[in-house]
């Protein structure tokens, strides 16, 4: 076992980077960040909203800063060391500090300093149940503290296999040569990385010292970094206040390449040249476009790290360092769209954050709107409307499955409806340029703070008082109503791109694919963009199952496209294969599942496979890839297959439509 990380001397933690760290935040942005952090120590503008997802008593304390001093041990799959919190009591007589934690955390000791105490005091603590996703770390303070009395608490602990901790053995990485670990805090997982106030309502600055083995590189969502080679320690500093869920780390065999004056890509060596080539020059151009719309980029660095297929999301907007799945590198336009979307979060979500997960639309809806304003400037309105059409089609598909009265469709918990609402507000003010100016004012007013919907809407109505007088305006319906969004954005600018897609769908669905007079014109897709192809395949999925003859013709006509490297195209075609029981393409399906072990591609295919006559294919693929699946994804796929087997046991057997019968197998759902 490795030696534990040393205890911080007198519980101190340095908040300033040593020389050579290099500033990342601009001076004005850093000053604003410091002011925002300082203002938080005296409490919110008002009492922060309750957060039902947090067990902590964050309303009783102001968090000024925290420091992590951790040692990474790949053999034990453990990060161990100290967390140091600098706090100020906000209520008189506070005797207990409650932090969000997780059963996977091993808390070993808690010390504190308060007031004029000369020596740290050892504190009693206990881990209490809270919810399926976390626990409550209750710490007894040594005395009732006065409001504003500085309090420093140090927690010695170890983080192992909690939901935020993604330990990848060598075979799960892209290079398959060394292990890698990354953390993923969104939305309430970072309480298994370190004890914290795990609520988006709480923001603070932080520093970190991460101790690693030789030949291991660490990157974090931080403003500044430096490496001490003699001690094998990476030092980080985040100079702007951020919520706990945006603290993120990657440690492994990483290299970097600059792709712009304030951006670089990080990846395993086998991925680096591809990632750098795809993004060279693009990030800076898009950043400059975004700044022209929404004001100064506040985070200094705009780096990206590409992670192995086990990364559970497409991308995550960690400040200064966006996490992205390597699978997206071969997905054409989707790569740039995801880069732009995470970039938009630098303003909407990171600089100004939703105070409650119930109002996540304040981050996602505004970021999606901002993303589409950026792409309109960079690539044109037609491109943006095409991308919007793809996403909105998916929204309506989901709404049809859920039903109009399902509470999950409320704006607070859905993302694309958030864009529809923001688009509606833009239409109310009558000028998209004026609305861009309003969003700049919103960022300027609330940067480095957390807000609720009332903050946003009050500022909107103060800026555009005439909007409230317009007929039919009903914000409450938007915020609490179920079903489809009351307003749909105008996508007519994309008609030239979406019309041929819709016509091709109708031609295939209506049996006109063999009409020699019109088929070549209707069905030609060689010049289509990725989003046009995806929209086409999504439309065909809505019409599945397709006749075997139509699938054969489509496979022949679009062979070069369907055999290409674009995973977004491939996964949709393979879903069509499964839903239409098109057995000739089973080898391609098996090969895809062997290559792509990421959640975003595996889950939809396993759901389709397990729901029909191809359950045996899912079982075979699972058996062949289970060692390369992350344990979290492995459990998810086991659950999907178990549900499918249960449904199969209760239903009459299905037979494929042709002679190529594949025998069904019982699904092995053992761990």
Residues marked as catalytic: 342
Between CA 600 and CA 598 the distance in angstroms is 6
What are the DSSP calls for 1-18, one per residue?
-PPPPPPPGGG----SPP
Q: Where are the beta strands (DSSP E) in 417-458?
A: 449-451
Side-chain half-sphere of 536: how many Cα atoms within 13 Å?
27
Region at 520 (left for phi over 0; alpha for psi -120 to 50; beta for the rest): alpha
Q: Which residues contact 74 (CB under 8 A, 6 or more apart)?
A: 167, 179, 181, 213
Q: How many beta carbons lie within 10 A of that of residue 177, not counting itself?
A: 13
Which residues on adjacent β-strands are paired with residue 86? 65, 152
* Burial of 16 (C-beta count, 10 Å sphere; 0-12/13-18/19+): exposed
Which H or E element spans position 361?
Answer: helix 361-379
DSSP string, 17-34: PPTTS---S-HHHHHHHH
- For 37-146, strand residue ranges (E) read 61-73, 78-89, 94-101, 106-114, 121-122, 125-131, 134-145
Cα Dmax for the chain: 91
Residue pair 621/594 in contact (Cβ under 8 Å)? The answer is yes
Question: Closest Cα to residue 644, out of 620, 670, 608?
Answer: 608
Number of H helices, E strands in the chain: 20, 22
């Amino acid at each position: 076992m490795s030696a534990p990380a040393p205890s911080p001397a007198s519980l101190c933690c340095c908040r300033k980077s040593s020389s050579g760290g290099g500033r990342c935040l601009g001076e004005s942005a850093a000053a604003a960040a410091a002011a925002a952090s300082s203002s938080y120590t005296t409490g919110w503008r008002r009492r922060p909203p309750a957060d039902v997802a947090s067990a902590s008593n964050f309303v009783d304390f102001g968090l000024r800063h925290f420091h992590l001093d951790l040692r990474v041990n790949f053999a034990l799959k453990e990060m161990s060391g100290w967390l140091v919190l600098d706090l100020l009591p906000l209520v008189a007589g506070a005797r207990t500090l409650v932090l969000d934690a997780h059963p996977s955390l091993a808390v070993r000791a808690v010390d504190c300093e308060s007031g004029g105490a000369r020596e740290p005091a050892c504190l009693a603590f206990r881990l209490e149940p809270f919810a399926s996703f976390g626990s409550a770390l209750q710490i007894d303070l040594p005395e009732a503290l006065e409001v504003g009395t500085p309090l420093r608490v140090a927690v010695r602990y170890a983080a192992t296999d909690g939901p935020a901790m993604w330990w990848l053995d060598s075979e799960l990485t892209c290079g398959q040569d060394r292990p890698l670990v990354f953390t993923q805090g969104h939305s309430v997982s970072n309480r298994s990385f370190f004890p914290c106030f795990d609520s988006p309502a709480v923001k603070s600055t932080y520093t970190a010292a991460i101790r690693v083995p030789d030949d291991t590189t660490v990157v974090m969502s931080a403003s500044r970094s430096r490496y001490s080679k003699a001690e094998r320690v990476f030092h980080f500093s985040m100079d702007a206040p951020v919520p706990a869920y945006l603290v993120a780390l990657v440690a492994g065999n990483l290299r970097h390449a600059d792709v712009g004056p304030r951006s670089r890509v990080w990846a395993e060596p086998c991925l680096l040249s591809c990632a750098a080539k795809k993004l060279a020059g693009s990030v800076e151009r898009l950043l400059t476009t975004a700044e022209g719309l929404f004001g100064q980029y506040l985070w200094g660095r705009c780096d990206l790290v590409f992670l192995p297929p086990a990364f559970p999301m497409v991308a995550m907007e960690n400040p200064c360092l966006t996490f992205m799945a390597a699978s997206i590198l071969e997905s054409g336009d989707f790569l740039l769209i995801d880069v732009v979307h995470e970039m938009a979060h630098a303003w909407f979500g990171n600089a100004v954050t939703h105070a409650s997960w119930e109002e996540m639309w304040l981050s996602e809806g505004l970021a999606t709107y901002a993303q589409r304003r950026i792409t309109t400037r960079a690539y044109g309105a037609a491109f943006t409307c095409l991308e919007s059409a793809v996403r909105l089609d998916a929204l309506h598909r989901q709404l049809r499955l859920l039903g109009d009265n399902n509470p999950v469709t409320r704006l607070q918990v859905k993302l694309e409806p958030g864009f529809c609402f923001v688009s509606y507000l833009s239409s109310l003010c009558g000028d998209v340029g004026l609305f861009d100016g309003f969003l700049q004012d919103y960022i300027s007013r609330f940067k480095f703070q957390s807000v609720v919907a009332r903050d946003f809407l009050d500022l909107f109505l103060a800026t555009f008082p005439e909007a409230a007088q317009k007929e039919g305006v009903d914000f409450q319906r938007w915020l609490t109503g179920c079903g489809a969004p009351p307003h749909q954005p105008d996508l007519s600018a994309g008609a030239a791109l979406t019309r041929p897609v819709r016509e091709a769908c109708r031609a295939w669905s209506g049996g006109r694919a063999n009409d020699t007079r019109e088929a070549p014109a209707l069905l030609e897709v060689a010049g289509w963009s990725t989003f046009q192809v995806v929209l086409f395949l999504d439309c065909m999925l809505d019409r599945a199952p397709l006749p075997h003859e139509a699938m054969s013709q489509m496979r022949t006509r679009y062979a070069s496209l369907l055999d290409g490297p674009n995973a977004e195209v491939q996964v949709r075609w393979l879903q069509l294969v499964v839903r239409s029981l098109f057995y000739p393409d089973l080898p391609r399906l098996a090969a895809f599942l062997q290559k792509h072990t990421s959640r975003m591609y595996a889950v939809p295919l396993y759901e389709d496979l397990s729901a029909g006559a191809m359950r045996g294919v899912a079982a075979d693929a699972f058996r062949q890839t289970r060692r390369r699946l992350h344990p979290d994804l492995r459990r998810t796929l086991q659950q999907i297959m178990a549900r499918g087997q249960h449904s199969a046991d209760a239903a009459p057997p299905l037979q494929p439509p042709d002679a190529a019968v594949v025998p069904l197998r019982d699904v092995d759902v053992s761990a």
